[in-house]
Amino acid sequence: MDRRNVTLSIRLISQIASLALLGALTACGSSKPEPAPLESLDAKSASARATIAWSTRVGEVSSTATLALAGGRLAVASADGDLVVLDVASGREAWRAQVKGKVSAATGFDGRYAAVVTDANELQVFDQGKLLWQERQPGRVMTAPVIAGERVFLQAVDRSVRAYDVLDGRWLWSYQRPGAEPLALGSRLVIQPFRDTLLVGQGNRLVGLDPLKGTPRFDVNVGTPRGSNEVERLADLVGPMARVDDEACVRVFQFSVACLELNRGSVRWSRPQAGTQGVAADLRTVVGADGSDRLTAWKAENGDFLWRVDRFTHRGLGTPVIWGERIVVGDAKDYVHILAKADGRTLGRIELDSPLVAPPVVSGDLLLVLTRKGTVSALRIN
């Protein structure tokens, strides 16, 4: 990349350091629309009553915080550097560590090791509460690291990927797809393991890397948007992808929703939808919200339309999750909505202390959620 593109990348990344800010840039400058009012729910219509099985506070978290689930344990880090690992069944603390510095990207976790990146671009890796090593990164990181196969993988906002040995911090390899667009999202990108392959988003492309060497195994175009400028053409894959066995579904920012066959490295189907949040998927259904918060469901098999609801327009919906026969999605007004997967009708809702900041995670009959104030809760349907 030449000096002009490097300068352009840095300048534009700083301008759109969050999805919300980029959404403001692409809006027409009009006043913000009023959010749809909450629909009335009585005892008869609210057939799914969510209760809190357990809850704990870790402190306020960054806008890119994640919930990392592995081995029956859940790892989360506050913006101030409190790294906590909880037992999922009980909510009890398994171990705790103090990160050196403010946290910008967290948390990678494999059941034993945990990894975070600080505002000073320091990758720090912990073994059950003990700091093993730290390594300064050459670029800003906002996507949580991934720990798999005794390696730590992380992706910077310029889409470059680096790999380290989890035990001693030895640098192994780095990768960046040649010819990448200079403009990138300052938010969660796609970096996830699949069997013996590391999946990474490179703009509008999904690349499967050999985790031992960092060499590409496949490179597939997920969707090519059209636009008159670089902001309109921005089409990064929004993380996390929704994995279902050997397939995955993903949002192409501002452009579409697509499902891919990972073994072949090919797109199975794609449907236009101008949204900014991730999608949910299982073997039968794919669900995602557009930029106006209209929620749409498609058949996972072929992308055929199933249903659409517009009861939540302009409520600031996040990434949904499929919880058995229910779809759960949080909004910017502190509510978590529970819908029927079959037809999108509302089954119930619960109000929390602040909006969800991370995609919810399902563990058995529990739904694990993290709010902006740093409250981790396990929800159960009664």
pLDDT at 377: 98
Residue 5 has pLDDT above 50, yes or no: no
Query: How do residues 113-136 score in pLDDT, each as one tens digit?
Result: 999 999 999 999 999 999 999 999
Q: How confident is the model at residue 22 (pLDDT cuts 50, 70, 90)?
A: very low
Q: Could you tell me which residue, 14 or 245, shows the higher pLDDT? A: 245
- How many separate helices (H) and strands (E) can be counted in the chain? 2, 32
Mean pLDDT in residue range 155-173: 96
Are the C-beta atoms of 91 and 56 separated by less than 8 Å? yes
Give tens-digit pLDDT for 328-343.
999 999 999 999 999 9
- The share of the chain scoring above pLDDT 70, in percent, equals 89
Whether the CB-CB separation of 119 and 95 falls below 8 Å is answered with: no
Cross-sheet strand order for the sheet of 335-340: 321-323, 326-330, 335-340, 346-351
Predicted local distance difference test score (pLDDT) of residue 182: 65
Is a pLDDT exceeding 80 seen at residue 353? Answer: yes
Inform me whether the pLDDT recorded for 13 exceeds 70. no
At 64-118, the pLDDT tens digits run 899 999 999 999 999 999 999 999 999 999 999 999 999 999 999 999 999 999 9
Burial of 228 (0-12, 13-18, 19+ CB in 10 A): exposed
Q: How far apart are CA 6 and CA 367, in angstroms?
A: 42
Residue 11 DSSP label: H
Q: Which tokens hold the place of 205?
A: 């492309």
Mean pLDDT of 372-376: 97
Residue 301 pLDDT > 90: yes
Kindly list the distances between the CA atom of residue 333 and the CA atoms of 100, 342, 356, in Å, as whole numbers in the listed order. 33, 25, 9
All domains in the chain, ordered by first residue: 3-381 (2.130.10.10)
CB 146 within 8 A of CB 159: no
pLDDT at 28 > cutoff 60: no
SS (H, E, C) 263-322: CCCEEEEEEECCCCCCCEECCCEEEEECCCCCEEEEECCCCCEEEEECCCCCCCCCCCEE
Residues of the chain with pLDDT > 90: what percent? 81
pLDDT for the residue numbered 45: 61
pLDDT of residue 350 exceeding 50 = yes
pLDDT for 21 beyond 50: no
Taking only Cα atoms into account, the Rg of the chain, rounded to an integer number of angstroms, comes to 20
pLDDT of 198-256, one tens digit each? Answer: 999 999 999 999 999 999 999 999 988 777 777 777 889 999 999 999 999 999 998 99
CB–CB of 69/361 below 8 Å?
Answer: yes
Label residue 23 by pLDDT band (50, 70, 90).
very low
**Average model confidence (pLDDT) across the chain:** 90
The kind and range of the H/E element at 362 are strand 361-363
| Least trusted range by pLDDT, from 143-157, 218-232, 301-315 | 218-232
Contact between residue 195 and residue 184 where contact means Cβ atoms under 8 Å apart:
no
Model pLDDT, residue 44:
59
Question: What is the average per-residue pLDDT within 2-15?
Answer: 39
Other beta carbons less than 10 A from residue 68's beta carbon:
25
More confident residue, 312 or 184: 312
